[in-house]
Amino acid sequence: MTVNLIRRREDLATALRALEGTVPAPLARLLTLLGSVLTIASCFLSWTWTDRFPGDLTVAGYPGGLQVLTLTAGLLLLLQTLSAYQLRGLGWLAPAGQTRALRLLALGALAVTWYTLGAISGELGGLANLEPGGFVAGIAVLPALYGTLALPGDRREATPAQARPLWQELLVIAAIAAAGLYVFTYGIETEYGELFVGFLLVIGFSAGAYAQAGLLARASALFARRRPWASAAAFLAAAAFPLTQSSEQYANLGVNILIFATVALGLNIVVGLTGLLDLGYVAFLGVGAYTAALISGSVFSPFRGAHVPFLLAALIGAAVSVVFGVLIGAPTLRLRGDYLAIVTIGFGEIFHIAVNNLDGKSGPKITNGPDGIAQIPDVSIFGFNLGSAHQLGSITIGRFANYFFLMLIVTLVVVTVFSRAGNSRIGRAWIALREDETAAEAMGINGFRTKLVAFALGASLAGLAGTVSAHVTYNVVPTPYVFAGSTAPNSAFLLAAVVLGGMGTVSGPLLGASLLYLIPEKLTFLQHYQLLAFGVALIVLMRFRPEGIVANRRRQAEFHQSDIPAQAAGSEDSVSLSQAGA
């Protein structure tokens, strides 16, 4: 079966290459231009006769719902096509070549358009529910796709962007941060599943197109050159998110995404940097949450007389998680590979069973068993109660917006710790152990102690996020702290976020966690098929981008060794090992 799939893929690639040059390049560009214009125009026609399909696609002259996404895909394709004509001011859109970017943008327009037409037909009961505008839209994208497939390949090495004056580069960074905020806000505010799927299609194909065009590489180089400014812009854009919300529903989603992403970033130390397969990591989040619930003044806590200030409770939660990390890691980290994974799954299950049994019947009454610890009071920092709404001019900042700001600060702390640790001597030792533990120990690295530090640090970051999580949810119950379940976060969710996002990077787990938390929230039918969805996503990712959505340069080089001279790759490994053992 695998051989047949490979042959079919090769046959498809051969057929696509055969289309190149079937028409002259000027005609192919003209077809692409006309197709993109027709796609845009079709969005101003009525696609269906009834408003029973969400988004109301019955109005001519005013795009709505999924039509807006088709319009966006058409505009992006038109802009990229115009840059192929070497128009003044648009040449920067394709430093690494136009053809592949145009093909992906055309495929994105085709995908979102035909998905919309299929959804209309499926939900309303057949093609008879399509208006002529819908058929026009479905046909309009075809000449654009054919035109891009007929274009000759022009892949080339992107020339490095010239350094610009500081104010210009800061303006570009601010524009990118604002665009990221808009995209995230649009995605989180999608009101129905069909719109969210269309959003993912447009974003996915557009991101792939701009990666092929070389724009993402240039943006990455700009961020590296202006790292402090880029970090500040990203933080300010994230901080502006709650101010754009008039509903607490989406602010609540934002808080939970930050909690999930922060814990995934802590797991990235263990899995991404050190190469330890920890499948019970969510238990450390539970340790922090239960610690905060026990000492924060809940009337259901056996220590109800203890009401520790939040800042101290956060430190205690992180410290208790470190203790558990050391207690679990000390006897188990001498194991490797599958054996370590089995032991960590066992630790996660032991934690889940223990908090279920500490109910006063099966054991001491500490966690109240399945009922958990409820009525955890809101955080109060220096007299500022995060549970109350506050006014910022004409903007009302509600409870979840307050916690979003708190969690954003925690995330900033975790990102700083991850970045500093990853670039330090201990971080290089983690990477050396991940690559080859035997060779690393031969270079003088104490493997057991180094792995234990990674385990403890990762546990502390999860415990820190858990202390905030306890106050956000008002109660702590054992249900989420399992390997796999219907609610996030759990260990399978966290591991998938790290692998899908990109191991060893900062932005990878943040992006992966955001996607994996939003998808079940927006697509409710997936809640019972999460593991199936994860499996399919991992298979697709292993085939097309094994280094993850956001690639660590080193891991990208490992997965694409055929593109790198063997001598250069070998010298890089030697340098890393010598620096780690120094």
CATH of the domain at 439: 1.10.3470
Q: Give Dmax (Cα) for the chain.
A: 81
From the CB of residue 253, how many other CB atoms can be counted at a distance below 10 Å? 21
The reply to whether 270 and 196 lie within a common domain is: no
The reply to whether 221 and 300 lie within a common domain is: no
SS3 560: coil
The reply to whether 215 and 318 lie within a common domain is: no
Tell which wins on pLDDT, 65 or 17: 65
SS3 373: strand
CB 458 within 8 A of CB 281: yes
- Per-residue confidence (pLDDT) for residue 570, from 0 to 100: 40
Tell which wins on pLDDT, 326 or 160: 326
Provide the number of structural domains found in the chain.
2
The reply to whether 183 and 296 lie within a common domain is: no
The reply to whether 176 and 93 lie within a common domain is: yes
What is the span of the domain harbouring residue 393? 248-581
Q: In whole angstroms, how large is the CA radius of gyration of the chain?
A: 26
- Two tokens, residue 248: 């607490």
Name the pLDDT band for 87 (thresholds 50, 70, 90). low
- List CB contacts of 521: < 8 A, sequence separation 6 or more: 253
Query: CA-CA-CA-CA torsion for 282, 286, 289, 293, nearest 10 degrees?
Result: 170
The reply to whether 201 and 268 lie within a common domain is: no
DSSP class per residue in 122-157: HHHTSGGGB-HHHHHHHHHHHHHHHHHHHSPP---P
| Residue 243 included in any domain | no
Name the pLDDT band for 438 (thresholds 50, 70, 90). confident
Dist CA 562 CA 291 (whole Å) = 50
Read off the pLDDT of residues 219-278 as tens digits, 9 standing for 90 and up. Answer: 888 888 888 999 999 999 999 998 888 778 888 889 999 999 999 999 999 998 888 888
Read off the pLDDT of residues 28-41 as tens digits, 9 standing for 90 and up. Answer: 889 999 999 999 99
Pairing of the two strands 395-397 and 390-392? antiparallel
| Residue 242 included in any domain | no
- Single out the residue in 235, 256, 284 at which a domain terminates: 235
- Single out the residue in 235, 265, 285 at which a domain terminates: 235
Q: Which of 87, 92, 89, 112 is nearest to 33 (CA)?
A: 87
- Per-residue confidence (pLDDT) for residue 109, from 0 to 100: 95
The reply to whether 341 and 449 lie within a common domain is: yes
pTM of the model: 0.85
- Single out the residue in 235, 270, 291 at which a domain terminates: 235
The reply to whether 230 and 252 lie within a common domain is: no
| Residue 303 included in any domain | yes
Residue type (1 letter), 344: T
Q: Quote the mean pLDDT of the chain.
A: 83
The reply to whether 424 and 478 lie within a common domain is: yes
Mean pLDDT, to the nearest integer, of 450-473? 92
Mean pLDDT, to the nearest integer, of 275-297? 90
The reply to whether 264 and 174 lie within a common domain is: no
Mean pLDDT, to the nearest integer, of 64-70? 93
The reply to whether 269 and 367 lie within a common domain is: yes
DSSP class per residue in 377-414: PPPEETTEETTS-EEETTEEE-HHHHHHHHHHHHHHHH
| Residue 5 included in any domain | no
Tell which wins on pLDDT, 154 or 504: 504
